[in-house]
Amino acid sequence: MLRLPQQENEIINRSIELEFTWNGKPYTGYEGDTIASALAASGVDIFSRSMKYHRPRGIMTANHWDPGLAVQVDDEPNVRSGSRRLEANTTVSAQNVWPSLEHDLGTLNKAVGRFISSGFYYKTFMRPRFFWNHVYQRVLRKFAPGGKIHWETPSTSTYDKRYVHPDVLVAGGGPAGMSAAISAANEGASVLLVEMESDLGGHLRWGNTSEISNMKSLIKEIESNENIEVLTDSTVTGRYDHNWVSVMQRSHSIARERLVKARVGTLVVAPGLIERPYIFKGNDIPGVMLSGAARRLINLWAVKPGQRAVVFTANPEGDSAIGDLQKAGVEIAEIVDARKGQRIVAAEGKKRVESVELSDGRSVDADLVVVAAGWTAPTSLLNMAGDKPEYDQKAARYFPKELPDDVLATGGIVGNGNFNTICAHGSDTGKIAANRALKLRHQRQTSTAWARNPNIPAPERIEDLRNSLVREEHPECYYSTNEGFVDFSEDVKYSDLVQAAQEGFDSIELMKRYTTATMGPAQGKLETVNAAAVLANSIGTPLAEIGTTIWRPPFAPITLGALAGRIFEPTRRSALQDWHEEHGAAPLLAGQWVRPDHYGDASAEALNVRNNVGIIDVTPLGKIELQGKDVSKLLDQVYTNRWGSLSIGKVRYGVMVGEDGVISDDGVTGRLDDDRWLMTTTSSGAGAVWEKLEDWLQNTSNDWDVCITPVTGGLTSINVAGPNSRSLLEKLVSDVDLSSESFPYFSVREGTVAEVENCVIWRIGFTGELSYELHIPSGYALHVWESLLLAGKDLGCAPFGVEAQRILRLEKGHFIVGQDTDGLTKAPTVGLNNLVKLDKDDMVGLPELADSFTDDQLPVLVAVQTDDPMVVPEEAAQILNGSSNEILGRVTSSRMSPTLKRSICLAQVAPGISQPDSKITILLASGERVSATVLSGHAHFDPSGSRQNV
């Protein structure tokens, strides 16, 4: 056991032991341990095998970014054991190993390592040709890194989202961040303080006694400030336009992970610094770790990181590590001070460091190498805010350059200092952040139309006069020799980068793509600057001119589950759907809606409409109420025909096209009153049409007087169709004269149906029969539906479903947008010539529409009947030129007609075969070709309309 006696500021609770297994063997840790600290305390050195060479890897940073600590925990892959708190009874295992972590056969890759330098796969595996897909690729896929998805045990985790609107969001709970939060809160701002680790404090947590006591007093102040909300174990993952900030919250009581979406007044970025690895031969061997890792292990979790250490230090933090190591009883074999020009050259050892070679030629026995080579500024959030950080050679790190007004940075990312100067900078930053946020809040609260106190004075703007933090000098320690790893997760070595540069990949972006350096799980947080330094060295350019790759969101990886949250995509149900299901309706999932497909026998339902009367629930039909003086102008713009002349009480059919002239939607619109209209759209197009109308009004004609209200769900729509439909409605409607003379085809009335007031009734037809469409306030829909059935008992009234309607409309030859038309279909194809008014000043798609009427090559929609009446060609069956494979068209709709007792089709065909009585050849799915004949017009049944115009 390497667990030390109790350390002064350890965060483990020794009274609670947690049992877990690691690669099948039982282990114990304490509450407060991370998985990695518990394993390290039990003497585990090797946590994983590297991606390409399968080299053993151990603890390097002991935090979230540690490249060697990804493990599988139960079903969860790629868990960062350096930061994930240990939980009892979990099954933890190493990833990417075979057959076991200790004896991994992939190490054979090491033997061939010299042959698989960067980009090797681009240069081979080309012969024999079929081998790439069938052999080489399969082998490469076997070596894919990462954890396993357990398909057999579906995840029961829950995920959630939350919206917050803090005035100030502080990313980072170290001394600077905490100070910023306190001062912002004291200015009256609401503050969200987000810390990636499980506790506030930042690097103070593993500091000395006075640092700990400073930390505690800051935390106390935060806890007592009611303007501050703290999220720990949470990461600010992205900063998007208009300070839209995403936070990933773990350890939430209900959700495994929660995505917190914050609209932030001012974002304060205070992430501290990330310690940078150092490049030397053997820099990845277990036992080589950064100074922060050694200090965290000792002080937070009371773990002795080794027995005998060589310490390479370039800064005070490295010096402090020496003290911590001594305190923990680690023998200091050698201190290598970079500030004196001393260097480590190599670490040797197989599964753990055994000796260290120094630049003066000596070899020192040691099982631990502690490296303090410098810092990388985690500027991701600043980059996302548009900043391009610049390199400061003296301080050997990047600093922010220019930030937008609503983003401020403080702490280690902007400079160095002692506790007091850092806190002072944080405090000043918090004050400015609050001031800017409160000004913004004031502006929002006073400038809106509904502002209660539009005249309250705005806060005075505080100028940014912060004393900048000093940039302490730091030696540029990137590499000691030209060996060793630059990117540990991707197994990219110094020599790989040099080779890439030699081959012409001599910009940081090309180098990244060729070598995959910085493309791994840490996305360059440990590697980018080192890679740039190696590139700078190999092409002889100053590091400051190399630049870095671009940091993109997320700052730390987010589970797909949390991004998705609880998925709110309910299936829409009409007010009658329960009734349908109780009465045996087969459900049909149609876009957002579930609908009754049929109630057992679609053909019988269709015949009943032809012979008696049927009722169908057509609620998904898009319905939009339009009010205002300029409605007809809007309709003229989006429909191809004219609307100004439509009189009150009439409805008209309209077709919409896109800018490309292609038909996009259709439906009828009725004029209920002078300024009040009801528009219907296709079911699937309801949302798109609404958007199109709003788009036009908001972006093009925002001075028009039109109010748009979508009422699709608010009105339940019932079509009453069949020769007995008028008789049926006459029983239930008393205040509307339904006679043909006073309520002719294509008219609309408002009236009372089954004592339900404010129903819209229009007389239109999709089935070819006399029919009425009722739009009922949905709360009364079931009453009306049942009243229709009851009143229609002696008239043969029965419900019919979507399938029967499809049969009926096909018999009548009505086309469906999206089925009989497609992404290419223009108005002339479906014979809408009279509905297109090309002499309008303007409308959507006008030029393309005009062109389409001069195009004699457009396909034509025709009714088709197979010569063998019993053969029903499949929808999408191709129409060919005789026995050749030349495509002349396709069947768009087909059914067996119960009315005509034969097969009927609609088809799009080339103009040459579109004339009535043309003989055409249809290729069936079976491969058989059958002959068919083109009809005159679209209707197979009642072409004159004698049944609906009664």
Q: Which of residues 878-937 bind another protein (CB under 8 A)?
A: 878, 880, 885, 887, 890, 923
CB of residue 142 to another protein, shortest distance in Å: 8
> How many CB atoms within 10 Å of residue 429?
29
Binders in 812-851 for another protein, by CB under 8 A:
818-819, 822-824, 847-848, 850-851
CB of residue 436 to another protein, shortest distance in Å: 21
Binders in 242-301 for another protein, by CB under 8 A:
244, 246, 259, 261
Sign of CA dihedral 793, 797, 802, 807: positive
CB of residue 446 to another protein, shortest distance in Å: 29
* Smaller CB separation from another protein, 181 or 932: 932
* Smaller CB separation from another protein, 131 or 739: 131
Residue 212 gets which letter from DSSP?
H
Query: In the set 591, 628, 831, 869, which binds another protein (CB under 8 A)?
Result: 591
* Smaller CB separation from another protein, 127 or 452: 127
Q: For the chain, what is the radius of gyration of the CA atoms?
A: 37
Q: Are strands 266-269 and 407-409 parallel, antiparallel or unpaired?
A: parallel
Query: In the set 29, 68, 82, 147, which binds another protein (CB under 8 A)?
Result: 147
* Smaller CB separation from another protein, 47 or 514: 514
Q: Report how far residue 627's alpha carbon sits from residue 687's, in angstroms, rounded to the nearest whole number.
A: 18
How many Å from the N-terminal Cα to the C-terminal Cα in the chain? 96
Tokens 């892959």 map to which residue? 77
CB of residue 190 to another protein, shortest distance in Å: 21
CB of residue 427 to another protein, shortest distance in Å: 30
In this chain, which stretch among 149-157, 429-437, 862-870, 940-948 interacts with another protein, using CB under 8 A? Answer: 149-157
* Smaller CB separation from another protein, 259 or 781: 259
Q: Are strands 902-909 and 887-897 parallel, antiparallel or unpaired?
A: antiparallel
Q: Report how far residue 858's alpha carbon sits from residue 126's, in angstroms, rounded to the nearest whole number.
A: 47
* Smaller CB separation from another protein, 382 or 736: 382
* Smaller CB separation from another protein, 244 or 456: 244
Q: How far is CA 713 from CA 380, 520, 571, 672, in A?
A: 45, 48, 12, 19
**Residues forming a β-bridge with 625:** 678, 709
In this chain, which stretch among 2-10, 188-196, 566-574, 834-842 interacts with another protein, using CB under 8 A? Answer: 566-574
Letter for the amino acid at 87?
E
In this chain, which stretch among 53-61, 139-147, 170-178, 348-356 interacts with another protein, using CB under 8 A? Answer: 139-147
Q: Is 541 in the site for another protein (CB under 8 A)?
A: no
Structure tokens belonging to residue 345: 């050259």
> How many CB atoms within 10 Å of residue 906?
26
Binders in 41-60 for another protein, by CB under 8 A:
none
CB of residue 897 to another protein, shortest distance in Å: 19
* Smaller CB separation from another protein, 319 or 822: 822
Q: Is 876 in the site for another protein (CB under 8 A)?
A: yes
Query: In the set 6, 89, 103, 144, which binds another protein (CB under 8 A)?
Result: 144
Binders in 377-436 for another protein, by CB under 8 A:
384
Residue of 475, 479, 473, 472 whose CA lies nearest to 338 = 475
Binders in 105-124 for another protein, by CB under 8 A:
112, 114-117, 120-124
CA angle (302 as vertex; 195, 171 as ends), nearest 5: 10
In this chain, which stretch among 197-205, 470-478, 653-661, 751-759 interacts with another protein, using CB under 8 A? Answer: 653-661
Query: In the set 854, 883, 944, 946, which binds another protein (CB under 8 A)?
Result: 854
* Smaller CB separation from another protein, 76 or 233: 76
Query: In the set 207, 265, 521, 751, which binds another protein (CB under 8 A)?
Result: 521
Q: Report how far residue 581's alpha carbon sits from residue 598's, in angstroms, rounded to the nearest whole number.
A: 10
x/- mask, another protein, residues 486-505, rule CB under 8 A, reads -------------x--xxxx
* Smaller CB separation from another protein, 8 or 659: 659
Residue 51 gets which letter from DSSP?
T
**Residues forming a β-bridge with 25:** 22
In this chain, which stretch among 102-110, 202-210, 326-334, 560-568 interacts with another protein, using CB under 8 A? Answer: 560-568
SS3 759: strand
Write down how long the chain is: 950
SS3 327: helix
Q: Is 352 in the site for another protein (CB under 8 A)?
A: no
Reported as type and span, the H/E element at residue 645 is none
Q: Report how far residue 921's alpha carbon sits from residue 883's, in angstroms, rounded to the nearest whole number.
A: 8
In this chain, which stretch among 165-173, 394-402, 554-562, 666-674 interacts with another protein, using CB under 8 A? Answer: 554-562
Q: Is 855 in the site for another protein (CB under 8 A)?
A: yes
Residue of 81, 525, 483, 432 whose CA lies nearest to 282 = 483
Exposure string of 821-833, with b = 16+ CB inside 10 Å and e = fewer, is: beeebbbbbbebe
Q: Is 157 in the site for another protein (CB under 8 A)?
A: yes
Letter for the amino acid at 195?
E
Residue of 214, 277, 655, 282 whose CA lies nearest to 484 = 282
Do residues 5 and 295 touch, judged by C-beta distance below 8 A?
Answer: no
* Smaller CB separation from another protein, 265 or 670: 265
Q: Is 569 in the site for another protein (CB under 8 A)?
A: yes
Structure tokens belonging to residue 583: 């009465």
Binders in 72-101 for another protein, by CB under 8 A:
75-78
